Structure 1
Amino acid sequence: MELSVSGPSFEEIQIPVPFGFVSGKWWGSKDKQPIIAIHGWQDNAGTFDPLIELLPKDLSILCIDLPGHGRSSHIPSGLPYYIFWDGLAILRRIIKHYNWRKVSIIGHSLGAAIGFLYAASFPDDTEMLISIDTVAPVIFDPSEIVKNTGPNIDKLIHYDSLGVDKMPSYKYSEMIDLVVDGHHGTLTRKSCEILMRRGMYRVKDNKYLFSRDIRLKVNRFALPSFDVTNEFAKQIRCRYLMIKAVPGRVRDNWSLFQSILETIKHSTSDFNYVEVEGSHHVHLNDASKVVPHILNFILKVA
């Protein structure tokens, strides 16, 4: 059992999958079914550390590393990541592995989109969904998808040709600088250090490599259209909480997501929407803004 800085404890786990394993941090008791927490694209299970450290210790929460992220196995070489559909399948595998029913999910960004797909695909098996700053899989203009398909295939082939020996390594401070710069000011340095606890590993000469699969950078295959996404939304029956960061993720087509939210509002009898001030990673940068809403929702009698 590994102890966190603030007191709550977690256990590192590995769940077998056909291509290796999915790693996770299981906070709290393993004697009861946990809430499943799913991180965003190129993040990892550590994204929820500050949030969980402010939640009651009697909550059981399993934070997973999606394939290719954190300490989880990468998918076999030569294959692309279909990040939304891969996540949906992995989540179902984990739930069937433990034989859980009526699951509760917290998701941020990509994790929220995966939770959306799961709640819609298995409406009778989903108790509640908490989505942080993302509603559903990202919706692109069809012309953009077509235009980028060829270049993305070439990128995938290029990344597949890069072995670990060709990957650049960095000193610890350089690695953190890269992550800070890559998020363009939306992640604090402390938040980047939290993510990198399981987002990098040490190699020779006291340098580090990213643990995530570089192929994750090619992430726009098999994206659902607005119409398909809206049909998924019609199937959501579980209790639902959307936490929107303001300004949050500025690149999303929020007007389309608002339409999807309207559909969810009519498909579930327990729809909740709140806004909190902060960036896309508000749950990591300033968890205290998010925790009260999550607690109120979890403890609320539907």
Structure 2
Amino acid sequence: MNLASDWLPQRNQTMRFRRVSYQYTKFCKITQEIAIQAKYCRSSFLQKRWNHIIKAQDAREIQVPLPHGIIAGKEWGSEEGYPILCLHGLADNCDSFAPLAPLLSEKFRYIAVDAFGHGLTTHVPPGSPMNYWEKVIYIKRVVDHFKLKTFSIIGHSMGGSTGFLFASLYPDLVDRLLTLDIIKPVTVPLAWHTQDITEAIDLHLEMERKSQDPKNQKSYTQEQLVNRYVEAMGGTIYPEAVRVLMKRGSKASGSGFVFSHDPRMMLPSIMRFGIEEQRQIIKGIRCHLKIVKAKQGPLYEPVKYLEEFKAIYQRQCASYEYDESVDGTHHFHMHHPERVAPIINEYFSRL
């Protein structure tokens, strides 16, 4: 018997088994490392993809510098997303969009600001005239500050009016405009101008004098402010909505609180223009436009002017839609955000 010849095949078989076993073990380790790396990369990708989302409930405060203070506001959504400016109505503030915010698509970057003379935005210094065009100028300051090349606008009431003017004056900047319960910038008939402006000047000077008298410095509880606001709006806004607004729409004064908006904003504007001036200005509007009108919302102006401007939008805008299907009063976006948000989301999904 040749022991060497019998042993050699067994040895070779053992060596082959060891090599295969080693290679298999090495393969398993490499596979495991690849799996770990893939998991890490996937986790890193998702982290990069979602870490830039600011949830609506965590909306962060923003500030835009002014020569005499700041424009205040909030920002939420995707920091890398397409920008949408949110402009509120008269006597409101950027929290007007708080009920809507959690229902809006997170793919966009929402920038909501407290308008000229509202919320936490610094008031115009005493003695300075309240300029109607400052509403537009303030928005241009925001646009320049954030270096926005193109963007869209959601505007409620006064904010929608400002949106119309801005989109007309800067047609290359605004891609889409969606207005809530406003059909056109509100104007004053030319026949009223002389008398109204005279009265406005006197009222501004009278308020200036009264504001310097300590006897006129009244303050209220928060609930009294809520009730006063509801009464001023003719009961068309719910107390629950006003309480949301009062978070930044009121400020401490004496032993209580007062509204934070500039009281001069409630006076007739000294600088106004009539329907003919608006016809000229609106010639510049080119963006996509959608008007969402509350069924029970006010019209503000004669129907003939509203229909005239609808016809202008139809001719000039890249696209034009008018929606009067939503039940609600003037603040329907706060009272029933679940009715309004789907319309907004669908409209901006076309971007």
**TM-score calculated relative to the size of structure 1:** 0.92
**Which structure dedicates a bigger proportion of its chain to helix?**
2
CA gap of 1:260–1:296, structure 2 versus 1, over 3 A, is same
Q: Secondary structure at the match of 1:198?
A: helix
Q: Is the 8 A contact 1:134 1:244 kept in 2?
A: yes
Give CA-to-partner distance per residue, 1:52-97, whole Å, 9 cap, x none: 12112333211100121000000121122223x1111111111111
Q: Secondary structure at the match of 1:288?
A: helix
Partner of 1:229: 278
Whole-angstrom distance in 1 between the partners of 2:254 and 2:241? 25
Whole-angstrom distance in 2 between the partners of 1:213 and 1:135? 25
User: In terms of Rg, which structure is larger?
Assistant: 2
Equivalent residue letter for 2:204? L
Partner of 1:25: 74
Give CA-to-partner distance per residue, 1:252-286, whole Å, 9 cap, x none: 33431221121011101311110122111111121
CA gap of 1:261–1:192, structure 2 versus 1, over 3 A, is same
Whole-angstrom distance in 2 between the partners of 1:91 and 1:164? 34
Bigger drift between 156-165 and 35-44 goes to 156-165
Whole-angstrom distance in 2 between the partners of 1:292 and 1:204? 43
Q: Is the 8 A contact 1:45 1:65 kept in 2?
A: yes
Bigger drift between 231-240 and 262-271 goes to 231-240
Partner of 1:126: 174
Residues 1:138 and 2:160 are matched in the alignment: no
Root mean square deviation, CA, Å: 1.9
Partner of 1:291: 341
Displacement, 1:7?
5.7
Whole-angstrom distance in 1 between the partners of 2:168 and 2:151? 13
Displacement, 1:33?
4.6
Q: Is the 8 A contact 2:81 2:108 kept in 1?
A: no
Whole-angstrom distance in 1 between the partners of 2:257 and 2:298? 29
* Paired residues for 1:1-302 under 5 Å: 8-83=57-132, 85-161=133-209, 162-163=211-212, 165=214, 166-205=216-255, 207-275=256-324, 276-300=326-350
CA gap of 1:224–1:148, structure 2 versus 1, over 3 A, is closer
Whole-angstrom distance in 1 between the partners of 2:267 and 2:68? 20
* Count of aligned positions: 295
| Percentage of identical aligned residues | 28
CA gap of 1:109–1:164, structure 2 versus 1, over 3 A, is farther
Give CA-to-partner distance per residue, 1:119-157, whole Å, 9 cap, x none: 111111111111111133212221222221112111101
Equivalent residue letter for 1:298? F
Give CA-to-partner distance per residue, 1:35-60, whole Å, 9 cap, x none: 10111111111111111121123332
CA gap of 1:10–1:56, structure 2 versus 1, over 3 A, is same
Q: What are structure 1's unaligned runs of at least 5 residues?
A: none
Whole-angstrom distance in 1 between the partners of 2:284 and 2:300? 26
Q: What are structure 2's unaligned runs of at least 5 residues?
A: 1-53
Equivalent residue letter for 2:152? S
Whole-angstrom distance in 1 between the partners of 2:240 and 2:344? 23
